[in-house]
Amino acid sequence: MKYLKLYSFFVLACFCFYNCSNSSPESPSIVQASDIDFIFTKEANTSSNKLSQSIQFWEQKLAKQPNASPYLLKLATLLSERFKQTGNIKDLHRSDKLLHQALDTYLLKKAGVYHALAANAITKHDFKSALTFAQKALETEERPDISKLYLFDTQLELGDLAAAKKNLEAYPLKHSFEYLIRKSKLQDVEGDLDAAIFSMEKAFSGLDAQNDTDLYVWALSNLGDMYGHAGKIKKSYESFLQVLQLRPSHHHSMKGIAWIAFSKDKNTDIAKRIMTQIGLENQLPDHHLFLAEIAAFERDERAEAYHTEAFLAKAERPQYQGMYNKYIFDIAIDQPVNLPKARAIAWEEVNKRPSVQSYQLLARSYVKSGDIQLALELSQEKIEGKSFEPEVIYHLGTLYHSAAEPDKAFRYLQEASEAGFELGPMLHKTIKEKLSAITQQG
């Protein structure tokens, strides 16, 4: 099982199942308890309180003028922001409802509403709807440059790199924050991590924490992720710490530090403490997925089962609308009785989002059912050479191992093993075992 990424996975040095809370003497611990104690003793989050007060203020204004478009838009934006803080999915759905209501009222300029709807759809992983909203925004001919950026965001997620590139290059302000962060994302998808980091650092250099704390925190936390992927673990840690000094309840950065404690330091006590704290503050089920992975590493079958079941109990609720399909698939695919469920999820994802990642879910389901030739044909057409993500590379290696093609299997698995930090201890161990088996067979 693999913790949600958004993101941050890190390189494995040496580890021991029997002393998983202790770091190797040759590899000093990066995460220090004294550095992060404040995130457990923090007072009520000032940013969260201000946001709730703002929501209450605009609720009152809207109650007096229910069809006032500016009020609808303002409240919808604030609710979307609160969802990111608290994980209350009802806020995201209500934000959508208010935005659609704004479209139905007299509004001279509608591009901004479509942009907001596209952003919400991306958050929900409803990328086809996001694409539709971005296209409708472009049709209004209001701020077409911004609309093309939203088109870029959705096309990149849908795997249409050619169209995404075209829309990005149409953006006129090549030194702007908006352009640079998307250029960084594209470079990352294309496998040029060094260039992606350079672009993100360039975007970040133009920000001031006092002038725009939200953007500053967003960019710095993304840099923390990227430094981790590049093996710059200390720099990643320092970035996340800096974010938390500004926003003690920034859950993405808390997760990043928890992953460093787990994957690099093997300090499961700190990792579990952080993720438990996130679970107290955020209603999304993500923390259970990470805690289940830690339990598997500790060989605590009871805790692993508890957190897996707790994750599924929430993630499979209708209101999440398939946001967690990939992770539900990862759990189902390892249980033969749930193979039909996994296959159905894979097809659903391919139909919703025909990306490399979605096709790989389908290929994995073919492998599990013994349809190796189908998996090979699909992978060679839709997956191979089209992604540099370590998980994609790992599953290609596993496929070729199953297809009795040891040379290709070894090449892909060896490449995946270099991203052990990102993939995590459990998967890294599996990769090493497969490489050893191939070597012995050869």
Place of tokens 């003497």: 25
Comparison of pLDDT for 24 and 154, the residue scoring more:
154
The rounded mean pLDDT for the chain is 91
Total count of domains within the chain = 1
Work out the pLDDT band at 24, boundaries 50, 70, 90: very low
Q: For the segment 93-129, what is each residue's pLDDT rounded down to a tens digit?
A: 999 999 999 999 877 789 999 999 999 999 999 999 9
| Residue 124 exposure: Cα atoms within 13 Å on the Cβ side | 26
Contact 202, 174 (CB under 8 A): no
Q: Considering the domain boundaries, does residue 427 fall inside one? A: yes
User: How confident is the model at residue 129, as a pLDDT?
Assistant: 96
Q: Considering the domain boundaries, does residue 382 fall inside one? A: yes
Q: Considering the domain boundaries, does residue 164 fall inside one? A: no
Work out the pLDDT band at 25, boundaries 50, 70, 90: very low
Q: Considering the domain boundaries, does residue 419 fall inside one? A: yes
CATH number, residue 423: 1.25.40.10
Work out the pLDDT band at 442, boundaries 50, 70, 90: low
Place of tokens 């879910």: 361
Residue 435's closest CA among 413, 412, 419?
Answer: 413
User: How confident is the model at residue 21, as a pLDDT?
Assistant: 38
Q: Considering the domain boundaries, does residue 97 fall inside one? A: no
Q: Considering the domain boundaries, does residue 289 fall inside one? A: no
Contact 367, 398 (CB under 8 A): yes
The answer, yes or no, to whether residue 415 has pLDDT greater than 80, is yes
Q: Rounded to 5 degrees, what are φ and ψ at 108?
A: -65, -45
Distance CA 55, CA 41 (A): 26
Q: For the segment 169-187, what is each residue's pLDDT rounded down to a tens digit?
A: 999 999 999 999 999 999 9
pTM for this entry: 0.90
Residue 244's closest CA among 260, 266, 263, 229?
Answer: 260
Q: Considering the domain boundaries, does residue 275 fall inside one? A: no
Q: Considering the domain boundaries, does residue 407 fall inside one? A: yes
The answer, yes or no, to whether residue 13 has pLDDT greater than 60, is no
Tell me the residue range of the domain where 374 lies: 339-441
Q: For the segment 381-398, what is each residue's pLDDT rounded down to a tens digit?
A: 999 999 999 999 999 999
User: How confident is the model at residue 49, as a pLDDT?
Assistant: 78
User: How confident is the model at residue 47, as a pLDDT?
Assistant: 64
Q: For the segment 265-288, what is each residue's pLDDT rounded down to a tens digit?
A: 999 999 999 999 999 999 999 999
Q: Determine the average pLDDT of the residues in 212-237.
A: 96
The answer, yes or no, to whether residue 11 has pLDDT greater than 90, is no
Work out the pLDDT band at 45, boundaries 50, 70, 90: low
Distance CA 378, CA 383 (A): 7
Q: Please, what's the b/e burial string for 271-280 (b: 16 or more CB within 10 A of its CB; e: otherwise)?
A: bbbbbebbbe
Distance CA 84, CA 279 (A): 14
Work out the pLDDT band at 295, boundaries 50, 70, 90: very high
**DSSP state, residue 260:** I
User: How confident is the model at residue 1, as a pLDDT?
Assistant: 41
The answer, yes or no, to whether residue 329 has pLDDT greater than 50, is yes
